[in-house]
Structure 1
């Protein structure tokens, strides 16, 4: 499976779990960190944890990659969970932290492939 298809499947997983304001960005042209960012918002710590668990499970099932979520409770409380899946990095934010860190703006040069409100 190619990386863009994998990233799109992660967007579907987040959407199924009611993640909000989902953004899929191709960052390969502006960064060596990864090929894609998936950025989404969860409305509560509990939802952020559920989104992280679903993304980790999908990463293991779809891409056959072992995903270790460390300190997910503490990360959820901080309002930002980062899940590194190699070529795809998923950022899950609370609404205030998403606004504060403004990754959407920071990576504005990246190509937006999909936006789900």
Structure 2
């Protein structure tokens, strides 16, 4: 399965749990860590955990491996490592503080299908 398809699947899983401001960044020419970041946020800890669970469940259903999930218990910034794609699920306050979109400002945005919450 190609990365664009997986990114859209992850974005749809996040959207299904009402994640806000879902964006994807192409990191291929910028970072050696991963090819893509998907970034979103929830408004409270339970929602952040629900979004992370939805991403994991979606990957399990597609028989794709979640390499690692960190930060689930605190639910302030959950990182879901999918290898070529890293999904960052923030609590709203942490997203504003860390502002990965600005930190990785050189990265171009990846087009996602309509339906993502704003």
Normalising to structure 2: TM-score of the pair? Answer: 0.88
Aligned to 2:109: 112
Question: Is 1:21 paired with 2:18?
Answer: no
Closer/same/farther in 2, CA of residues 31 and 70 from structure 1, 3 Å limit: closer
Per the TM alignment, residue 69 of structure 1 is displaced from its structure 2 partner at its CA by 3.8
Task: Looking at secondary structure, tell me which structure has more helix per residue.
Answer: 1
Structure 1 runs (4+) deviating above 4 angstroms are: none
- What secondary structure sits across from 2:31 in the alignment? coil
- What secondary structure sits across from 1:114 in the alignment? coil
Structure 1 unaligned runs (5+)?
Answer: none
Closer/same/farther in 2, CA of residues 27 and 59 from structure 1, 3 Å limit: same
Structure 2 unaligned runs (5+)?
Answer: none
- What secondary structure sits across from 2:73 in the alignment? helix
Within 5 Å, give how 1:1-117 maps onto structure 2.
Answer: 1-66=1-66, 69=69, 72-74=72-74, 76=75, 79-114=76-111, 116=116, 117=118
Instruction: Show CA shifts across 1:35-77 (max 9, x none).
Output: 1100001011000000010111112222421555455122x0x
C-alpha separation in 1, matches of 2:28 and 2:63: 19
